[in-house]
Amino acid sequence: FVLILSLISTYVIGKYSYEKAKSALVQRTFDQLTSLRIEKTNRIQNFFAQCASDISNLSRLDDTKEIVRLISQLDDPVNNRVSNAYNNFIKDYIEAGNNYSKIIFISKSGALMINMNDKAVKNDLYILPLDKVQLNILKELNSSNDWILKDMNELDGTGELKIWIASRVNDNAEGEKGAVILEIPIEVINDIMFENRLYNGLGKTGETYLVGSDYLLRSTSRFENNSVLKTKVATEGVKEAFNGITGTKEIQDYRNVSVLSSFSTLDVPGLNWAILAEIDTKEAMVPIVSIKSNIMYLTFIIFLLLLGVVALLTAMITAPIRSLIGKTDKVAAGEFGQTLNYKANDEVGDLVHAFNKMTMQLKAQSEKLEEERKLRLNSLIDGQELERRRLSKELHDGLGQLILTNKLKVERALKEEPGEAKQIISESEELFRITMQEIRNISNGLMPAVLTAFGLETAIRNLTKEIADSSEININVNIEIDKPIINSKYETYLYRIVQEALNNVIKHAMATQVNLDLCVENGELKLSIQDNGTGVSFDDMNKPNGNGLNNMQYRAELLGGDLKITGTSGKGTKVVLQIKNFHYGSN
């Protein structure tokens, strides 16, 4: 027990230390992921804020307004005025940030697209018709929006992964309205997410990425090529982020791998994106493995030490225990009274003392039980013998005499004249009727037919009526049973107890009044028989065969009940039977 208790204590301490270290490691990882997510969030939001500033500044430049006004006036190719207006300031301003791949000037007449990779704009630019997206941009900007962002999933048909940011251009002089658009390539977003160094500080499995409201990636996945707008990320973290929750959680990522995730949404007008920073749980938990190994090693060392101590203590304690086991085996075999000589004043000594006391008590109880068994066996045999004698006496004195008398009458009728024979046969018929009644009386004494046919209540009422009719005893019967008792054992034993108690009243009590109560209430059966006779004495109750009291007690025990007989000389006797947890039962 000490060994097991020590091992359990060591395990609990080790488990607690392990869980605390694991919890601390998980929290530290979440803190690092959250710090990284916040840093990326700030950079993305600052980037788009700079883009908004750039597009707003461009829309207010006179060169931009000049280009928008000239688009509707020029024939292809664009003349030197457009080239000069672009190269004058706009080109240097845009290239200074190195964040855009194209700039597009649009008016109601068409669009002029300039690739930022060109070193200089010459006279080979062409004005293109407005496409559906550009028309929508003009419409939205004319609805009072200063600038708007177009997510890459809204720019279909080009095959390029890009984001457009556009601003309205107003020419107050000519009344011409147009727009300027800056195209942001996906590579710029990836550079921000990866800090221009792939997966910096994120180990072997960590990554930060962006997800749009359509649950498609907006930045490149570390694990899947060409994943932008192709890989669906409908994870628990993304869903909670789009529900307005900012937090951390262990989840299954889009690869169905367990990860530690920190998530939130971006605060960028026009873009409904979520940002997540994640690392595989398995990689994050690598430091905790060494702690677990150390705990297991320490537990093993403690186990070996405790094993040696327990083995030594066991050798000191088990010697008297083995002797005690040997004595116990003898007691189990029925050899009561076995004792062990052990004088030490310790727990084992107390155990030996208790064992010696127990065996002596078992011996005394065994002898008492044997005496009770013999007493009950004698009572049973004596009761059977008395019943045989009673039955023999009734058959000989009653039924036998009636049959003999009837036989003589029949023989006499055979010898007489018809008239005289008829009178004798008439007398014989009356004798037959009396004989039949005598047979019924004997049968009822053995097993009343009414008990089997009509149940316990009717049998008791018939018994008390017969006794009252044949004696000067007034018997009040009160029976309150909700439903019939259908267990034949209960019926028979209860009837015999009532019968035996009333027989004792008739034979010994000299009573004139008997109250019999039988009821079942709250699952408990209670039978009470009280007379106003001479009363039973203590000696009568303890006689081996006195007044059939032992038979009543035996039947009560077989029913699982408690039978108490109380009486005072000259004040009557009371018999009470209680059966707790009584069930009406079945045969």
196-205, 264-273, 306-315: which has the minimum mean pLDDT?
196-205
What DSSP string describes 188-216? Answer: HHHHHHHTTSTTTTSTTT-EEEEEETTSB
10-24, 87-101, 117-131: which has the minimum mean pLDDT?
117-131
| The two structure tokens encoding residue 373 | 């068994």
Q: pLDDT tens digits, residue range 46-58?
A: 999 999 999 998 9
Q: What is the layout of strands, in order, in the sheet containing 127-128?
A: 127-128, 111-115, 102-107, 177-185, 162-170, 147-150
Q: Does pLDDT of 494 surpass 50? A: yes
| The two structure tokens encoding residue 538 | 């203590």
**What whole-number percentage of the chain has pLDDT above 90?**
25
Pick the CATH number of 450-587 from 3.30.565.60, 3.30.565.10, 3.40.50.2300, 3.40.50.10490: 3.30.565.10
* Nearest of 279, 224, 211, 210 to residue 249 by alpha carbon: 279
Q: Does pLDDT of 429 surpass 90? A: no
Where does 61-188 sit in CATH, by number? 3.30.450.20
Q: Does pLDDT of 198 surpass 50? A: no
pLDDT grade for 531, boundaries at 50, 70 and 90? very high
Q: Is the pTM of this model over 0.95?
A: no
Q: Count other Cβ atoms within 10 Å, centred on residue 248.
A: 20
- What average pLDDT does the segment 319-341 reach? 74
63-67, 139-143, 443-447: which has the minimum mean pLDDT?
443-447
- pLDDT value of position 328: 79
- What average pLDDT does the segment 473-491 reach? 84
Cis peptide before 77 (omega within 30 of 0): yes
184-188, 301-305, 414-418, 468-472: which has the minimum mean pLDDT?
414-418
| The two structure tokens encoding residue 180 | 């300027």
Q: pLDDT tens digits, residue range 346-380?
A: 777 777 778 778 888 877 887 787 777 777 666 66
- What average pLDDT does the segment 184-208 reach? 78
- pLDDT value of position 219: 92
Q: Burial-class residue 43 by CB neighbours within 10 Å (0-12, 13-18, 19+).
A: middle
CA distances 178 to 65, 93, 113, 175, 316, Å, are: 8, 20, 14, 10, 102
- pLDDT value of position 384: 60
**What whole-number percentage of the chain has pLDDT above 70?**
81
Q: Does pLDDT of 196 surpass 50? A: no
